[in-house]
A and B are shown apart, each in its own frame.
Chain A
Amino acid sequence: MRVIYILWLRQLKKYVRSKSRIVGAIGQPLLFLLALGYGLGSVYKAAGQGNYLQFLVPGIMVQTVLFSAMFYGAMIIFDRQFGFLKETLVAPDSRFKIMFGGALGGATTSVIQGMLVFVISLFLGFKPHWSQLALTIVIMSVLAVAITSFSSGIGSFVNDMQGFQAINQFLIFPLYFLSGALYPLNRVPAWLRIIAEINPISYTVDALRWTLIGTTRFGIWHDLLALAITLVVLVGFGAFRFRHIEA
């Protein structure tokens, strides 16, 4: 346990010491929030869908957690380039604990980022249901741990930032844009809906909409089940890849 704790703490310290990372990682979601929230708000309302900001904020929170958790994989690549990774790979503990301690740390900072965006959105006029705030944080945490485990796995066999960025571009961005985070899925073509329905990100977005604004498309239990499966699969993937890492 102490090993997991110290590796978790390491990520937190690095996070707190890097102001640019804190600002950088909420810059992009904030831009989305402002540009889309204000840009599309009136169109959305005219289409009879209600308040777009209310709809958008849960999606942007997922975006924040998703991309900062993906960034954790880049940290592994930096650790490899700066050589620190070797130090953890020869440590006499299970590779799972070593992978998981860091992933938990990365997940914690991702959830903090998500909550920062949440707080900012309050100032922009977002009105959440406060009763499910705890569950909101749990859901974000599950997503964050799943994605940091996944990105650890990716960071274990992709050696450079270019390769890593490619995964972001060709896998994570599409999953995010096709998830219903930015637009409702009830008016989209069938193919897009089908993609959204097999996309774990959709379920996370849907779950946060349920806890924050009380609407759901798939039903909260389906959402939670999908999240749980995603968590197990991705932690398994991360653990497997990390065990076979060579320095």
Chain B
Amino acid sequence: MIEVNHLVKKFGSFTAVDDISFKVEPGELFALLGPNGAGKSTTIKMLTTLLKPTAGSLKLNGYNVVKQQSAVRKSFGIVFQDPSLDLDLTAYENMQLHAVMYHLKPKRIKTRIEELLTLVELWDRRNSLVKTFSGGMKRRLEIARGLLHQPKILFLDEPTLGLDAQTRNLLWEYVGNLAKTKDMTIFFTTHYLEEAETNADRIAIIDHGKLLIVAPADEVKKSTKSQSLEEAYLKLTGKEIRDESVSKGEAWRERQRARVMR
């Protein structure tokens, strides 16, 4: 469903993604893990036609990502890591715009939107402008919007960032169900390792743009002789604190989000 071959992305002389290759099977839940700045979002941006790769080839749903952009764009849905809502529109209008852009049948639009806004408990607030929403509410709306049309492949870039435990559970339940019943392929990133461990069929760990391992969580633990995924993760990516450590980076991004979203 997703094929990545010798993918490279350079920003000037800096290499953000350094010659990575992997495959994701249809219906698979695939987690891409790695410290801040490892290259996760950059990889997703290349897979979703937002950035041009410097080298390497990419296939999505059988289509060449660089050459068959419109076929590729029909194949996936995405929840971005960074904010992507129109704050001057209402929750409903944001959903509606997405529904129309993704060619949902006019008759289905209203019921689909109601279904999903109810799922994320925003139906009562559907007519409020998004700029009046809290950070978590905005995130829930983005997730509902990402699930509105049912693509073959769903990219979730840190979908649970800033969400409470209830919503996180709900999300993973719903997403897991989609993978099972609709054979949807789910490609996600997260810094909550237990989320990856319980939900992902396979895990890839990337650091400094290089892919370190691609395997089911059990094998990742076994091959590093670790008790937990966290231990394995730290053994692979090293314990030294980066210019942005995981927790510091997380806190920093939360603040950025709060600032941008205000």
> Which A residues are closer than 8 A to B by beta carbons?
2-3, 5-7, 10, 13-14, 17-18, 79, 82-84, 86-94, 98, 246-247
Contact = CB atoms under 8 A, between A and B. Distances in A.
A6 B100 contact: yes
B85 A84 contact: yes
B50 A86 contact: yes
Contacts of A82: 83, 85-87, 260
A240 B106 CA distance: 31
Interface in B94-150: 96-98, 100-103, 106, 129
B93 A90 contact: no
Given A3-B101, A83-B260, A92-B102, A247 B88 contact: no
B19 interface: no
Q: Interface residues of B toward A: which range?
A: 20 to 34
Contacts, number: 76
B73 A91 contact: yes
Contacts of B102: 91-92
Nearest to B155: A90
B201 interface: no
A31 to B, nearest CB: 27
B219 interface: no
A93 B101 contact: yes
A89 B72 CA distance: 12
A14 B101 contact: no
B82 A83 contact: yes
A86 B44 CA distance: 13
Nearest to A94: B70
Please give me the 5 A-B residue pairs with the lowest Cβ-Cβ distance, nearest first: A92-B74, A92-B73, A91-B101, A83-B84, A6-B100
Contact of B100 (A2, A17, A89): A2
Contacts of B88: 13-14, 17-18
B73 A90 contact: yes
Nearest to A79: B86
Contacts of A79: 86
